[in-house]
A and B are shown apart, each in its own frame.
Chain A
């Protein structure tokens, strides 16, 4: 392994932060697409030089950028995301029905096997695929047949933010939507079902145990155990050992189980990470202490990781897409804050250091491990 490339999407542009395998000295490049919101960037696992970026603006709408040289140069590709047929309506914040309408692309998930194929999760929630790579987008519309009139926006909008491909079964894909819940296809997208049994949302939806309507914030999976999923819900951290068919809570001794991202260690499938946030009304760390919590037991037993992180007067948020892990022998963990810091740990979370201190608010963090 020769090094890592951290892809940071912010409220005012994209940044690429690189280091060698020691991960001690860092070089920041950017901003690219200055002044635009970069909701997400992600590189292909098959061809790391192929990177996709979601570039958007309240003024100018959505642009998708593609790089074929590791982020040195970029070219705009297709940005037309049309729903199949009449998309109908979903629930709005005020309980009324509102027509589906495209807002932005939250997630770009390159295929695990084909660098020319990429999935996109959008707001208002829907899933798209491009096979040409990024020029044309086709909706995988069967997803929107799973009780869509009960889907509703979370505080960030009604976004499809999580896409997880099963590395052992190309027909199986998981997605998560805020606020609709988690969904799975076992036939490459032709049919979908809600996988929310065990989720309880007492203060968010009228029926706390409903099939759909839950505000799932993020999900993660270790590629060696594709039937084990971890979830950070609006409130509650959960786990499934049967590919989402059922879930149970693993919040354990967390100081609060509200939060956004959740991650899995690259080499230890039972080691997981969350960043507890005080509450859905107060989006900052409890007590002004920025603490990542790690469980080495797959949940329930958590330890606070504080070395190198501010332990007083810290009131940033860490958004759902703003955590990533690298594949180095000693696993690296990365996260970005709404205050523009990017923190990295080169020792599985034992200690941390900022690799960027003064960027715009961080929307997303991904990392590529380069050979």
Chain B
């Protein structure tokens, strides 16, 4: 028995194209399911996405990206706070959203 969770992530259009994926991405996460552990898993599987969601040096979320799940905006949560149980269980996806800047 492992401590792994299979979670779901929905990437925005441009990052799907860059990563050459369609639909949701499914990722296995060892340990706590947090923004940081999910982003670590995304970047490990899709190295071309490094730097496109969070800064490669500071690890800070890019200003025009948001994280939504379970009808909540989780963007300003600490990256080490556990994501909602529904995300950790795979019942709900984590949405990576490009902010509605520019109309």
Q: List residues of chain A with CB under 8 Å of any chain B CB.
A: 35-36, 57-63, 76, 79-80, 82
Contacts and interface: CB of A to CB of B under 8 A. Distances in A.
Contacts of A58: 64, 101-102
A59 B98 contact: yes
Interface string B36-65: 000000000000101111011100001011
B56 A63 contact: no
A57 B57 contact: no
Contacts of B98: 59-60
A61 B48 contact: no
A76 B48 contact: yes
B34 to A, nearest CB: 22
B83 to A, nearest CB: 22
Nearest to B97: A59
Given A35-B14, A76-B18, A80-B56, A59 B50 contact: no
Given A35-B14, A76-B18, A82-B57, A60 B50 contact: no
- Among A35, A36, A60, A82, chain B packs the most CB atoms within 10 A around the CB of A60
B101 to A, nearest CB: 7
16 contacts: A35-B13, A58-B101, A59-B62, A59-B64, A59-B65, A60-B14, A60-B53, A60-B62, A61-B51, A62-B51, A63-B51, A79-B50, A79-B51, A79-B56, A80-B50, A82-B56
B15 interface: yes
A35 B15 CA distance: 11
- Among A61, A62, A82, chain B packs the most CB atoms within 10 A around the CB of A61
Contacts of A57: 14
Nearest to A75: B48
Contacts, number: 43
B57 A60 contact: no
Interface SS of chain B? loop
Interface in B1-20: 12-15, 18
- Among A57, A59, A62, chain B packs the most CB atoms within 10 A around the CB of A59
Given A79-B50, A80-B50, A80-B51, A60 B15 contact: yes
A201 B72 CA distance: 53
Interface of B: 12-15, 18, 48, 50-53, 55-57, 62, 64-65, 98-99, 101-102
A60 B48 CA distance: 11
A50 to B, nearest CB: 19
B52 A60 contact: yes
Contacts of B64: 58-59
A57 B15 CA distance: 11
Nearest to A83: B57
Contacts of B62: 59-61
Contacts of A79: 50-51, 56
B43 to A, nearest CB: 12
Nearest to B57: A82
Given A61-B52, A80-B56, 17 more contacts: A35-B13, A36-B14, A58-B64, A58-B101, A59-B14, A59-B62, A59-B64, A59-B65, A60-B14, A60-B15, A60-B52, A61-B51, A61-B62, A62-B51, A76-B48, A80-B50, A82-B57
B24 to A, nearest CB: 19
A221 to B, nearest CB: 33
A36 B101 CA distance: 15
A135 to B, nearest CB: 10
B18 to A, nearest CB: 7
Nearest to B55: A61
A45 B102 CA distance: 38
A298 to B, nearest CB: 44
Nearest to A62: B51
Nearest to A34: B17
B48 A63 contact: yes
Nearest to A77: B48
Contacts of B55: 61
